Structures are given as C-alpha cells and as structure tokens.
Amino acid sequence: MKKVHNYFLPDSDIHFERMINKRIAQGGPPEYQDDVRDEAYKYVNDFDICVDVGANVGLWTVPLSKEFNKVIAFEPMQQVYECLLENTKELNNVILNNFALGSESKNLNMVFNPENTGNSYIDGTPGNIKVKKLDDSFMPKFSLIKIDCERYELEVLKGGVQTLLKYKPIVIVEQHPDTEECAGNFLRELGAKELSNVRKDYIFGW
C-alpha cells in the first residue's frame, strides 16, 4: 500500500489519488467528497452514530469519525479493507465489518478494479464475498447512513427497510443515471424526501 496525503491506498489505485489532488488544486482540503458531507450535516440533528456502507479505504469513515461519536463501516474487498484497517487503527470510535450489505444473505462475486477500487462492484453471480442484510445486523440507532456501492445501492436499501423505517436516518446514496429512479423512488416509497444533492450523491430524509 502507499500513503497519499492522509490516507493509505492500494498501490494500484490511481483514481482516489487523482481525486484528492484535484480537490487540493481547487483550494479544498486533502479529502474526498468533503462537500457532500458538509451538505448532509445540515440535515443531521443527532451526531451519535452513523453508518458507512461501501467504506473502501475510509475516505468517508475517517472524517465521519471526527463528527460522530461512533462510525459503523462495511467494506467487503480485502484489497482495500487492509488499507481501511490501517487508516482507522488509531480511531477508537470506528467499528469495521468485512462484508457487504444487500437484499439477502448469500455469497456473491465482486469484480475488482485495481486502478479505481471505488469502481469495483458486485455482479450478482455466486462468489466468495459475504453479503448480509442491514436488517439482520442488529444495528443500534443511527442518524446518518452513506451508501456508495456502485449500482448496488438499491439492494442495500431493500435489505434494510425495517431498520430505515425504525430509525429514519439521513440517507446519502450515490445514484448513476441508470439507477437514479429505482434507488430514489424506493426511498420515496418508504416516505423519505429528497432534501438535496451534490453531483451524483443524493441526500434523503424523513
């Protein structure tokens, strides 16, 4: 692994290194998507517990840990999970889970993109990545959940309906053009409202 500013990344990943450097060139901090978080924080009333689904190396987990008392993170890819461990090893308010979330419990295949690990995705075929439902994870009350799973966001939502309706957190969900309707409409059907968006990241709440 290599260290890029404040984060350890897989040696092969050039995407996040480029994005962080781009943010610095724009006059921002050496962070990734800090503007999305800042927008979401406007709607959060309770900064006790939050959830990071698709944590990757911790580009959200680490800054979230500075705002919330506890961060519960999910990341299934071993190649980036090792970096996530390194990036959070000194944080005592982060709980890491080395599995994916989805609509049902099973083992699925994940296609790994070494140059852009954030573009890795579950393809729906049988494999060795453990997938569990959010509703089966015995989650404590949380006030914010970020879901960035490369077009698997809807499956994560489907597996967490009971939990989402119970806690009604602020939901940050990435939406691509081909999934915007299903993820957004699914949340709307649960009674959530679109509060804001920053580029492809949409913020919902009840």
Question: Across-strand partners of 53?
Answer: 74, 147
In order of 59, 110, 145, 151, the CA distances from 119 in angstroms are: 14, 11, 20, 10
Dist CA 123 CA 97 (whole Å)? 20
User: CATH classification of 33-103+132-205, choosing from 3.30.70.360, 3.40.50.150, 3.40.50.720, 3.30.70.20?
Assistant: 3.40.50.150
pLDDT of 44-78, one tens digit each?
A: 999 999 999 999 999 999 999 999 999 999 999 99
pLDDT at 180 over 70: no
Provide the token pair at 55.
């944590």
Task: Look up the pTM and report it.
Answer: 0.94
Which pLDDT does position 63 carry in this prediction? 98
Taking residues 103-121, report their average pLDDT.
Answer: 82
Taking residues 111-130, report their average pLDDT.
Answer: 82
Strands 7-9 and 2-4: antiparallel
Q: Where are the domains of the chain?
A: 33-103+132-205
167 band by pLDDT with thresholds 50, 70 and 90: very high
Dist CA 106 CA 159 (whole Å)? 12
Asked if residue 20 lies in contact with residue 13, where contact means CB atoms within 8 angstroms, the answer is no
- E-strand ranges in the chain read 2-4, 7-9, 49-53, 70-74, 94-97, 100-101, 106-111, 121-126, 129-132, 144-147, 170-174, 193-198, 201-205
177 band by pLDDT with thresholds 50, 70 and 90: low
Which among 170, 167, 174, 204 is positioned nearest to 189, based on CA atoms?
204
